[in-house]
Structure 1
């Protein structure tokens, strides 16, 4: 009986610590969900959507930044995960085509402001293209308030051009985002998620590293494979999905390899990190 009482007291103590700790951390997830195309055959959206929802549910991020998301996918996800809301605009404007869809826990975060800009010479023009790549590329951003402590942070989500010849376009995109971050209040916390279609050895990563730090590189023992793109094989070959931060200390980092047999929720592994605010609340 004495042992049971001690165990109970220990459990209560742990639970007591869990509340304040949770109030000081945020969980971020980045996930290229793969657009819904019939040519994917057994990997088409209808065959993997519930596995994708399960992957998100199990990790339960406070914010989930997606790439290649279409509206029907976003609506399905929040229809099965009602704790979340989502927003975003199609890369041609309106609801057309790919969205940089941002999902957030309504019980945890309050959306204060949001918007979009395009990675081009005319960033305020929906669907605008510059720098020689064939498709519009954009950023969906938000300013959130943490309901538990009243603290605020900025959030950006993006998808860079993918072709080998798009190196200059990726660098210009990185410069545009870095300039936007540099223009924020100097101590404002920031999170950037995305599919950057290039590896951490690239100039684009270095440019962003001038204002943000790579969450995976900031932790001693990241979990899971380093690479994230696997083309539905389960064997990744490149780390092109990143989470970059300012004003937070990454506590952990994982590449999530959830699957059912040979089926995967996407052709990318999602990545997730728990972030602690760098400075205590005032």
Structure 2
């Protein structure tokens, strides 16, 4: 069992999860119908840290109200709290935040709500540098959600290049996790740009389970693998596409992805 392992051997459990935004158009799949299943899934999977996409403040607050071992932070993509967040959740009994912040995927990344490159909506990264309480090991996490239209591929590439350039400014020894909904396939230039310096845990982990695809539109039948966990300075031991459901109800229109990463003290 995990608790029996020495601290340095315990895996860091990292999840990416597009929770599906608050919208009245989802009918039987609206947030109020899915919320308890989301909470049950997170309780069962027990991640240490989660990068979410499409999260509204109400959703984040309702999750931590039911799972008080977590706290969350983030800012709306337009600035403030009124819009979708790249909300980051973490176990407060396992991790602490040393630094955190946001930047926007635009020509003016430090301007909240800024958008260029033809983006229909503001796109952003919420990031944090974490320390594991048990042993002091640290890592930096970036969480993002790239634009979704087929015509947005040039904008997605500009977004990826900005993220890549920001990551390149971190110390070479810094452990890095980049995760999110990238809205493109592994055949894209976005993927090749990012995996030139980062490792895709889905392809690298020796143990893999669940379907390869992640977006399923509430059908349970995934189409494309657009939700990724990419790392630097860490070894992926296991990765799973989580298909938790109750009859025809799913937590979201995306399957979450969870990875177990080695985070030994250097």
Structure 1-normalised TM-score? 0.92
Unmatched segments (≥5 aa) in structure 2 = none
Separation (CA, whole Å) in 1 of partners of 2:251 and 2:53: 13
**Which of 2, 10, 27 lines up with 2:13 in the alignment?**
27
Residue 181 of structure 1 contacts residue 211 of structure 1 at CA under 8 Å; is this kept in 2?
Answer: no
**After TM superposition, which residue ranges in structure 1, 4 or more long, deviate above 6 angstroms?**
none
2:84 matched to 1:98? yes
Are 1:55 and 2:41 matched, yes or no? yes
C-alpha deviation, 1:281, in angstroms: 2.3
CA distance in 2, matches of 1:84, 1:122: 32
Contact 2:8 2:135 in 1 (8 A): no
Which structure has the highest helix share of the two? 1
| 2:146 alignment partner, one of 156, 160, 166 | 160
Partner of 1:8: none
**Secondary structure, in 3 states, of the residue corresponding to 1:166?**
helix
Which residue of the other structure, out of 25, 28, 47, is the alignment partner of 1:39?
25
CA distance in 2, matches of 1:56, 1:201: 30
Contact 1:65/1:101 (8 A) holds in 2: yes
- Summarize the alignment of residues 237-276 of structure 1 with structure 2, pairs less than 5 Å apart: 237-276=223-262
Q: Deviation per CA, 1:235-276, whole angstroms, max 9, x where unpaired?
A: 000000000001110000000000000010100000000000
| Count of matched residue positions in the alignment of Structure 1 and Structure 2 | 266
Asked if the contact 2:9/2:262 (under 8 Å) is kept, the reply is no
When Rg is computed on C-alpha atoms for both structures, the one with the higher figure is 1
RMSD between aligned residues: 1.3
Change (3 A) 1:33 1:207: same
Distance in 2 of aligned mates of 1:94 and 1:180: 23
2:55 corresponds in structure 1 to 69
1:281 aligned onto 2:262: no
State the match for 2:181 in structure 1.
195
**Partner SS for 2:163:** helix
The one-character-per-residue Cα deviations of 1:37-57 (angstroms, maximum 9, x if unpaired) are 111000000001000111111
Cα 1:210–1:101 shift into 2, 3 Å: same
- 1:132-185 C-alpha deviation (Å, 9 max, x unpaired): 121000000000001011011100000000000000110011101111111100
- The TM-score, its normalising length taken from structure 2, stands at 0.97
CA-to-aligned-CA distance 1:68-106 (integer Å, 9 cap, x gap): 000000000000000000000000001021000000000
Match of residue 102 from structure 2: 116
1:123 match: secondary structure: coil
SS for the counterpart of 1:207 is helix
Match status 1:224 vs 2:196: no
The equivalent of 1:236 in structure 2 is: 222
* C-alpha separation in 1, matches of 2:189 and 2:88: 26
8 Å CA contact retained: 2:37, 2:245: yes
1:23 positional shift? 5.2
SS state at 1:222 partner: strand
| In structure 2, distance between residues paired with 1:187 and 1:91 | 30
